[in-house]
Amino acid sequence: MRVEDFQNGQIILIDKPLQWTSFQVVKKLRWGIQKNFNIKKIKVGHAGTLDPLATGLLLICTGKFTKKIDQFQAETKEYIGTITLGATTPSYDQETEINETFSIDHITTKKLNSITKTFIGDIDQYPPIFSAIKKDGVRLYELARKGETTKINSRRIHIYDFNITKINLPTVDFRVVCSKGTYIRSLAYDFGKALDSGAYLSSLRRTKSGDFDVENAVSPDKYLDVLRTLL
């Protein structure tokens, strides 16, 4: 592997660790490539943000392939994860504390499987207030952490497949295949509402993005270790 390969463009499949931001992965790989080849500059970017509390497939593009980021971001994504029923949090996940609890006594396997079907197709979804979307140049999570509220517009997204893979109330495991722009945290929150209860996302893993699969991905540290052996 030569520095020219990275400048001409590489797609690096990273399995993002828990608690890492997507930007931290980009920063780590950029630093590693620069150090490995003793260069001052290299373009590195990611094709689709993963929240710090999510793990899984993160596409990293280098050099000229950074121009393809929009193309890769537009691809269909697959996720697996866990939803906790009977409670909500302001962030729709475990980043914030539970703010309200609800009964789950009425929730049955039949009801769970029936409700998932109502989410298939085009739906209007409201992004979480704790998100990186910008409003008037300020990221929403910055406003949320200050306790400020702001109006968020819904966005049209598409759910290709959504099914429950395991039930162990109050948690349910799921698999979802969705379009660009889908917030799985919002899906979990809306799922709870549709069940006449509450819900928040308690784990998430991206398994596929377009034709790319997390089974072929490695951790940032593992990738840099392998890169050093190629010199």
Is there a cis peptide before residue 220, judged by omega within 30 degrees of 0?
Answer: no
Tally the C-alpha atoms within 13 A of residue 33's C-alpha that lie toward its C-beta.
27
Architecture of the CATH domain 3-74+211-229: 2-Layer Sandwich (3.30)
- What's the chain's average pLDDT? 91
Architecture of the CATH domain 77-209: 2-Layer Sandwich (3.30)
> Which one, of 170, 222, 220, 227, lies nearest residue 199 by Cα?
170
For residue range 88-141, list pLDDT tens digits in order.
Answer: 999 999 989 999 999 999 999 999 999 999 999 999 998 887 666 665 666 565
Dist. CA 230–CA 33, nearest whole Å: 12
Query: What's the pTM?
Result: 0.90
pLDDT band at 85 (very low <50, low <70, confident <90, very high): very high
Residue labelled with tokens 């906790």: 84
Give the residue extent of every domain in the chain. Answer: 3-74+211-229, 77-209
Residue 25 has pLDDT above 90, yes or no: yes
Report the Cα–Cα distance between both ends of the chain, in Å, rounded.
7
Q: Which residues of 31-50 are buried (b: 16+ CB within 10 A; e: fewer)?
A: ebbbebbeeeebebbbbbeb
Q: What is the pLDDT of residue 119?
A: 97
Q: What is the pLDDT of residue 107?
A: 97
Q: What is the pLDDT of residue 135?
A: 58
Cβ pair 100, 87 in contact under 8 A = yes
Looking at residues 17-38, what average pLDDT do you find? 93
Catalytic residue among 15, 51, 93, 190: 51
Active site residue 51: yes
Three-class DSSP category at 166: strand
Looking at residues 208-230, what average pLDDT do you find? 93
